[in-house]
A and B are shown apart, each in its own frame.
Chain A
Amino acid sequence: MLKRLKVDNFKCLDGFDLELGDHALLMGLNGTGKSTVIEMLERLRRFLVDGEKARNCFPASTQTRRSSFWKKLQRFELFLEGDIEVTIELTPPDEEGIVQVVKEVVRAPAALLERQSGPTIRIGSGPDDAENIIILVPDELAALPLVGLFKSASSVIDTLLKVFSTVSDILPFRLAPTQMEVLASTPAAALAPDGANFAAWLLMFDRRFPERREAMERQVAAVLPAFRRFHLVPEGEQFRLVTEWRSASGKTGRFDFNELSDGQRLIAVLAGIAVATEAEGRASTLVLDEPDNYVALPEIQPLLLSLMDQPGMQLIVASHHPEIIDLMAKDYGIVFTREDDIGPVRVERWQAAPDEALTPSELVARGELHGGA
C-alpha cells in the first residue's frame, strides 16, 4: 500500500506531496495533474520494477518547465506500508540524452540499499552493518530490480525482495480497450498499463491460478450479467481470446474479445486484475485513470465497489464522473489545484461543511472543488 508520495521536478509535480489512505479519489479541474501522477507512477514502475534505463523512463520531456532552475534533479520518494521508503534522484538528460541515478536509497526495517557514488551500491542491514555487500550497477539503472538475481539467502536480501514485491504491487493503468489484442502467443507475466496484452496475461493467469478462473468469470458477470466464460482457443501457434455469453432467456453466443464493446473489455480486464490480486494474496495499489470512460452508468457503482471490496486492495482513481465522486469523495477525495493556475500542483483533502445536505457531485458541479470547505 502506498502511503505517501513526494515528487520534485516531474512535469507539473514539483514540491508535490500526496498522502494516501485506504483508497483515494483524485479530483480537480482539467490540467491539475491527476493523470500526471498516474503517468509518473507508470514511468517509475518501468524504472524500478521492469529495470528499464532511466533515459527511457525520464526523458527531458518529463522535466518541470521552469526558467531559472532548468537543470534540477528529478526526485521521487515512495513511502510504503511496512515502513518502507524508496528514494530516487536522477540527473537531467545530458547532451546524449543519458540520465544518471545519483541517489537510490531503499530503507526497510533491517535492510538498507544505498547508492554510494556512481555504480557502487551498498546493501546491508543498516548504515553500521560490518558485513555490507557492495555491488556495481550502471548508473543508468536502478539496483532494486536486480536484487532478485542474488543467490544469497540472507535476511537482508529477503527483505529487499519483499520491498521489490511491494513496489511491484503498485499497478498504474491507463486502460485503452481499443488497444487490447485478441491473439496471444506467449504467456505474459505482467499486464501492460494499457491492458493491450490481456489475452497473453490470461494465458499466464491460467497457468498460475487455474482454480481462480471461475472466480474471475463470476466477477465479470457481477457487472455484465450475460457473461459466462473466457476461452483461449488454439489457433496455429497462437491463442484466440473468445468470450461466451448467455442471455436471461437462454440464448447463447460466442464473441471474439475484440468484438466486445470498449466498456465490456474494460470490465473484463478490471475483473481480471481484481481476482489476480486476490489470488496473489498480496496487498495491491490499483491506480486507474478515468475508468468510467467506457462503462455504462448502471455498471459504474458495482464495478468500483467490487474493486474496493477486494481484501488488501488500495484503489486510487482519477475521475470527474458524478457516480464515482458520490461514491468516493466524502471519504477519500483529494483535490488537485495548480498554484497560480499554471504553477506546480498542490493537493488537499476534499471536505464539505458538516451540515452540507447536497451530494458531493452536486457540490463539485457547482464549482466547490476546494478542500476544507
Chain B
Amino acid sequence: MVARDLRYVVLGEDTAHGNFVRRWLIAEGVEPRNIRLIPPPAGTGGAGDEHVKRKYPEEVAYYRRRANAQRVALVIVIDADRETVRHRQRQLDEALSENQSPPRADPERIAILVPKRNIETWLHTLPGTPADEETDYKPLFVGKTAAACAAAAPHFQEFLQRTPSDTDLPSLAASRSEAARLV
C-alpha cells in the first residue's frame, strides 16, 4: 500500500512505463491529478533507457529540494532487457555519482522498478499467464499496451499485497521493496 497523499513524478523509458505506473498508483487510491508523467523521448528505439539515466539525477535533485517540505515521491521504471535488475539499479546509482549526487538513501521515497525482460513481461504475467524473464513478449502487445496496462495494474497492486512466493518472477519480487519506499 503506497501513500495516497504524495505527489508522484513518474520517469519511464516509454509511454507504456508511464501508463503502467499511473494505472497502478490510481489502483492504490492516488488521485490522478497527483501523478505527473515525464514525457518520454520521441524515438521508439533505444532512446528510452538513456533518457531515464540522463533525467534520473535531475529528478532526484528535484525530489530532494522538496522532500523536506512537501509530500513528494519519484517512481522510475526502466527495463532490465538482457541485463540484471541489479545492473540497472547500479547504472542509476552511477548516474547520480557522476552528477556528484549522494546515492539513494533508505528513507527517500524514490522507487526504481526494473521489469525483466521488459514491461511487457509484467503485462503478460500479472493477469495470470506464466512468463519467464528471457522471452521478449513485446510483439504480443504492439498497439495494445494502453489496454494491457489498464488490465495489469490492479494485479500489480494485488501482487504487492500477497505473501511472497518462490514462483514470483525475480524482477516482480524485487519491486516489493521498491514499492515499500512509497509509504
Q: B28 in the interface, Cβ–Cβ < 8 Å?
A: no
Give the secondary structure class of B's interface: mixed
Query: Are B47 and A302 in contact (CB-based, < 8 A)?
Result: no
Instruction: Verify B36–A301 contact, CB threshold 8 A.
Output: yes
B127 close to chain A: CB less than 8 A: no
CB-based contact B32/A357 at 8 Å: no
Listed A/B pairs (19) with beta-carbon separation below 8 Å: A302-B32, A302-B35, A305-B32, A327-B37, A327-B39, A330-B15, A330-B42, A330-B44, A352-B44, A353-B45, A354-B45, A354-B47, A356-B41, A356-B47, A357-B51, A357-B54, A359-B40, A359-B42, A363-B42
The answer on a CB contact under 8 Å between B43 and A356 is yes
B143: A residues at CB distance < 8 A: 21-22
- Prevailing SS type, chain A contact patch: helix
Is B164 interfacial (CB 8 A cutoff)? no
Chain A residues lying within 8 Å of B51, measured Cβ to Cβ, are 357
Other-chain contact of B37, A225, A298, A301, A331 (Cβ < 8 Å) = A301
For window 335-368 of A, CB contacts with B under 8 Å fall at: 351-363
Scan A291-313; emit 1 where CB is below 8 A from any B CB, else 0.
Answer: 00000001101100110110000
Which of chain B's residues has its CB closest to A350's CB? B42
Residue-wise interface mask of B (36-63) relative to A, using a CB-CB cutoff of 8 A (1 in contact, 0 not):
1101111111110011001000000000
Which one, A222, A298, A329, A354, contacts B43 given CB within 8 A?
Answer: A354
- What is the number of residues of chain B that contact chain A, defined by CB distance less than 8 Å? 23
Query: A306's closest neighbor in chain B, by CB?
Result: B32
Cβ of B15 and Cβ of A331 under 8 Å apart?
Answer: yes
Q: Kindly identify which residue among B35, B36, B47 contacts A357, using a CB–CB cutoff of 8 Å.
A: B47
Q: Is B150 an interface residue (CB 8 A)?
A: yes
Number of A residues near B (Cβ < 8 Å) is 31
- Let me know if A14 is at the binding interface, CB within 8 A: no
Contact residues, A175-233 vs B (CB, 8 A): 222-223, 225
Q: Is the CB of A360 within 8 A of B46?
A: no
CB contacts between A and B, total, < 8 Å: 69
A52 within 8 A of B: no
**A17 touches B (CB below 8 Å):** no
B93 interface contact, C-beta 8 A: no
Is A50 among interface residues, defined by CB-CB distance under 8 A?
no
Residues in chain B near residue A244, CB distance under 8 A: none
Beta-carbon nearest neighbor of B48 in chain A: A357
Chain B residue nearest to A21 (CB atoms) is B143
Q: Does A262 contact B (CB under 8 A)?
A: no
Which residue of chain B is the closest to A354 with respect to CB atoms? B45
Q: Tell yes or no: B22 within 8 A of A by CB.
A: yes
- What's the least CB distance linking B39 to chain A, in Å? 4
Task: Determine if B65 is an interface residue (Cβ-Cβ < 8 Å).
Answer: no
Shortest beta-carbon distance from A18 to chain B in Å: 17
Identify which of residues 56-75 in chain B touch chain A, using a CB-to-CB cut-off of 8 Å. none
Hey, which chain A residues are within 8 Å of B47, CB to CB? Answer: 354-357
Q: For A225, list chain B residues within 8 Å (CB).
A: 31, 33
Bound complex: CA of A247 vs CA of B94, how far in Å? 43
B145 to chain A, nearest CB (A): 8
- The complex places the Cα of A330 from the Cα of B146 at a distance, in Å, of 13
Closest to A22 in B: B146
